[in-house]
Amino acid sequence: MVRALLQRLPRSHDAGVDLGAVDLSHLRIVQTGDADVSLGAGLGEQILPGFTGGGRGSQSVPEMALIDQVIAAINDRLGGNLTDADKVWVQQTFEYAAEDPHIQQTAKANTEENFGYVFDKQFEGLVLDRHDANAGLIDRVFKDSDTTAFFTAMARKIVYELACEAGKAS
């Protein structure tokens, strides 16, 4: 809406100042003068065209490789047989990396190629962080016999239900 308004206002010869990535935190309004902003009697009534397109701007959906394609590429490259559980791990690892605030900021401010200079250096660390978090969970679950028994009982119930459902489907 602001762009449409700017097209209707007279252009100033002052190029202004590029503030770049400056965040506006405070605003003070001060009257610096009086100006006649009336349309004038001679112009008469004017009809301005309405906005079109719903004001959403251009719509683009980032192209993302499906996890199945990623797993297939890894299998082709390594000659392995990654499973559905591996797919979950790959998906969670990618999501974990995408949730990192520094990664998000870098992605928003760069092209994919330039993003790679930062991401490629950090990715191994992110994968290791995720691995350490999983290892920490395993350590907590099996640290004492009460927690192990509780976890095993929950797993038994859920796996039993899933296995019975899978047996019905076959």
Are 12 and 6 contacting, i.e. CB atoms less than 8 angstroms apart?
no
Give domain limits for the chain: 67-141
Residues 100-148: pLDDT tens digits?
999 999 999 999 999 999 999 999 999 998 888 888 888 888 888 888 8
d(CA 119, CA 93): 13
pLDDT of the residue at 62: 45
The average pLDDT across 5-24 equals 60
